[in-house]
Structure 1
Amino acid sequence: MRIMLSLAGLLVVLAIIAFTVKKQVNSLAPPSSPPASASADNDAATTPITSPPQQRVQQVQDDVQRALDQGAARAASEAQ
């Protein structure tokens, strides 16, 4: 009797783990369709992934340079 209850408990635990793993794997899958509200501005978060790689690289470089400039300006203003 004790063995039967142990096996039943083990099956319940395995079912819970399998369900959790299935949900996690499904959440990692990419969305089936691109976002419908992608705007045409230069913000990296709203640029569609279908843009050419050179354009994406240039956009990232511009964003990094802008962030560095903002950090330098903030550091200069705090130093004064």
Structure 2
Amino acid sequence: MRMFGLVGLLLALVIAGVVAKKQMASVAAPALPSVPGAAAPASGEAPADERTQARQVQQQVKEALDAAAQARKMPDDN
């Protein structure tokens, strides 16, 4: 009985490995990651470098958090 369990476990592991390998091989990384709310560069414009993109994303996240905090402010109970 244990042998069937071990064989089944190994078979499942092999299948998962093959599927993961195919998935990783078929996924192509996009040149610019898509960020909701971010403006797409113009067709003739050169893509921004990674640091500039990281700063833009950080700024957008900060603005979104600030807006959410402002919307959730509760009146004082005093």
* Runs of 4+, deviation exceeding 3 Å: none
Q: State the identity as a percent.
A: 11
* Separation in 1, partners of 2:28, 2:32: 17
Q: Does 1:77 align with 2:66?
A: no
1:35-54 matched pairs, under 5 angstroms: 43-44=34-35
What is the aligned-residue RMSD (CA, Å)?
3.3
Give 1 or 2 for the bigger CA radius of gyration: 1
In structure 2, relative to structure 1, the CA distance for the partners of 1:42 and 1:34 (3 Å cut) is: closer
Comparing both chains, which one has the higher relative contact order based on Cα–Cα distances under 8 Å and sequence gaps of 6 or more? 2
Shift of 1:72: 0.4
Give the TM-score normalised by structure 2.
Answer: 0.51
SS of alignment partner, residue 25 of structure 2: coil
Task: Please state how far the C-alpha of 1:74 moved relative to its aligned partner.
Answer: 1.8
CA distance in 2, matches of 1:25, 1:14: 16
Matched with 2:56 is: 62
Q: Which runs of 5+ in 1 are unaligned?
A: 1-8, 46-53
Measured against aligned partners, the alpha-carbon deviations of 1:2-56 in whole angstroms (never above 9, x if no partner) come to xxxxxxx232112101111112323443224527xx5x776259xxxxxxxx823
The alignment of Structure 1 onto Structure 2 pairs a total of residues equal to 61
